[in-house]
Structures are given as C-alpha cells and as structure tokens.
C-alpha cells in the first residue's frame, strides 16, 4: 500500500497527505486542524473488506485519505444494494457524530487498499463542541452529498428507463472515481455492481454495454468500463 499520510508514532497523525483538502475540515484555522488531527488514529484497510457493518453501534467516524470505498445495504433476502461511492477526502461513519447513541445505517466496504483517519465518538463530539464549524461541515456534507444522492437516485428510479439509469450512473461514476487515460476514462466497476447501482438486471447491463461498445461510446473490460465518448451518454 502506498500510504502518503504524515504520521508520528503509534498511529498518531502529524498532517494530511499533500494536496488533500477535505470538506469536513473546510474553514478551520491551522491550529484547529491540528487539534482535530491530534485526536485521530491512522488506520489501514486491505481490499476487499467491509470496514463498517450496517446496524453495528456507531462508535467511530472516518476520513478516507487514500483509495476508494462505497456504502451498501443488504435487503432481507440478502440482495446487495449499492449506494454512495467514496474517494479520498470524504468521511464515512457519520452516524457516530450525532448526540444520541446510534447505529450505522449502511455498511462501508473498501474497493482498493485504503488509509483513513479515525476518531472515536466521544473525541469527535468533544471536538465539535470546541470547533462548531466541524458540525456545520458535517451537516453540509450530509445534505449536499448524501441526501442529494438519495433524491437523485429516487428520481432516476421513478422517472427513467433502464438504459437512462445505466448511462446516468456511468457518467456519475466517471466524475467520482474515473481515471483519465489515453484511451478514455476508466471506471473500475463490474457488470453486477453496475446492475445493482442502476437497479437493473446484469443481462440488461451486458446487452446495453455491448450496444454502446458497437457505437464506439465505450469499451468493456474485465471489471472495468472505459468511456471513450461520454458525451454521447447524455440523453440516452
């Protein structure tokens, strides 16, 4: 794992990786950022693994500093429903922030080897009392990222056909986790995961991607999709 976290001893954190500017810490002074980081512990997670489980007591909040992760829930019949994807700079385990003891509403799994900073519930609550801007930032993230994602997903499910949902998810993932390359934007996602995220069958995903590959919009690979003309997905 290529960890760029700036650490002291015993998993304590000196500073954030160079170039990482989390929304969670936006607007804090240098001394306030240092105070928040001084209470964090550095964690490493190997992929693929579930690091938070739905319905477990919410005891820690995390800030992803490298790698990719995502939220998911399981239905009563064990079907896996994919939700929000996470990249470096985003927080997860936010249920540990609220004042009353709570449980995680979704599970979180890492898709690549990851590093994260972790705070226990009491430490984070104390920090938010001392630095109210932290709570403001957490609420802003909850509304503009998570609630906005849920609203968009519900609108898509209720008003768009399968083809449009697949196209919309691919464009969204290209912006969130896509990696630009000489042959297009590489999205590390398998057909089954794309089907779950778009609420369609794997057969529908396979058939739709094959058609778009014939039209030169994308190229399929093992566990990945390479968008070559993403603009052609708009309005599909």
Q: Give the per-residue pLDDT at 78.
A: 86
Q: 5: pLDDT confidence band, cut at 50, 70 and 90? A: confident
68-89: pLDDT as tens digits: 999 999 988 888 888 889 999 9
Residue 11 lies in a domain: yes
- Residue ending a domain, among 106, 135, 157, is 157
What CA–CA distance (Å, rounded) separates 120 from 96? 8
CATH classification at residue 203: 1.10.10.10
- Residue ending a domain, among 107, 125, 157, is 157
Residue 131 structural domain: 6-157
Number of domains in the chain: 2
Residue 114 lies in a domain: yes
3-class DSSP string for 170-218: HHHHHHHHCEEECCEEEECCCHHHHHHHHCCCHHHHHHHHHHHHHCCCE
Residue 89: name the closest of 137, 154, 24 by CA. 24
197-213: pLDDT as tens digits: 888 899 999 999 999 99
The pair of structure tokens assigned to 88 is 């470096």
CATH classification at residue 40: 2.60.120.10
* Residue 171 shares a structural domain with residue 151: no
Q: Give the per-residue pLDDT at 43.
A: 93
What CA–CA distance (Å, rounded) separates 91 from 61? 7
**What is residue 142's three-state secondary structure?**
helix
* Residue 152 shares a structural domain with residue 165: no
Residue 110 lies in a domain: yes
* Residue 152 shares a structural domain with residue 164: no
* Residue 165 shares a structural domain with residue 62: no
* Residue 93 shares a structural domain with residue 201: no
* Residue 70 shares a structural domain with residue 102: yes
* Residue 220 shares a structural domain with residue 144: no
93-147: pLDDT as tens digits: 999 999 888 999 999 999 999 999 999 999 999 999 999 999 999 999 988 877 6
* Residue 208 shares a structural domain with residue 176: yes
- Asked if 5 contacts 42 with a C-beta cutoff of 8 angstroms, the reply is yes
For the chain, the straight-line distance linking the first and the last C-alpha, in angstroms and rounded, comes to 39
Residue 1 lies in a domain: no
* Residue 195 shares a structural domain with residue 212: yes
Q: 221: pLDDT confidence band, cut at 50, 70 and 90? A: confident
Residue 56 lies in a domain: yes
| pLDDT exceeds 80 at position 174 | yes
Q: Give the per-residue pLDDT at 53.
A: 97
Q: Give the per-residue pLDDT at 143.
A: 81
* Residue 17 shares a structural domain with residue 90: yes
**What is residue 111's three-state secondary structure?**
coil
- Residue ending a domain, among 111, 126, 157, is 157
Q: Give the per-residue pLDDT at 1.
A: 59
């Amino acid at each position: 794992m290529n960890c760029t976290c700036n650490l002291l001893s015993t998993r304590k954190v000196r500073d954030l990786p160079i170039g990482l500017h989390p929304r969670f810490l936006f607007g804090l002074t240098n001394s306030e950022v240092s105070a928040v980081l001084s209470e964090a512990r550095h964690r490493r997670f190997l992929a693929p693994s579930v690091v938070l489980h739905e319905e477990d007591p919410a005891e820690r909040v995390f800030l992803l500093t490298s790698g990719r992760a995502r939220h998911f829930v399981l239905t009563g019949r064990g079907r896996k429903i994919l939700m929000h994807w996470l990249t470096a700079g985003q927080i997860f385990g936010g249920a540990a922030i609220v004042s009353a003891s709570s449980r995680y509403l979704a599970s979180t799994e890492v898709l690549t080897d990851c590093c994260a900073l972790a705070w226990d519930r009491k430490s984070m609550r104390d920090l938010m009392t001392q630095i109210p801007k932290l709570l403001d930032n957490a609420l802003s993230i909850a509304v503009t990222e998570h609630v906005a994602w849920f609203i968009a997903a519900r609108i898509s499910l209720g008003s768009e056909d399968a083809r449009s949902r697949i196209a919309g998810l691919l464009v969204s993932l290209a912006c969130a986790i896509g990696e630009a390359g000489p042959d297009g934007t590489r999205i590390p996602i398998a057909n089954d995961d794309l089907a779950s995220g778009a609420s369609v069958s794997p057969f529908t995903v396979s058939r739709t991607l094959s058609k778009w590959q014939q039209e030169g919009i994308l190229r399929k690979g093992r566990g990945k999709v390479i968008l070559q003309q993403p603009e052609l997905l708009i309005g599909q």
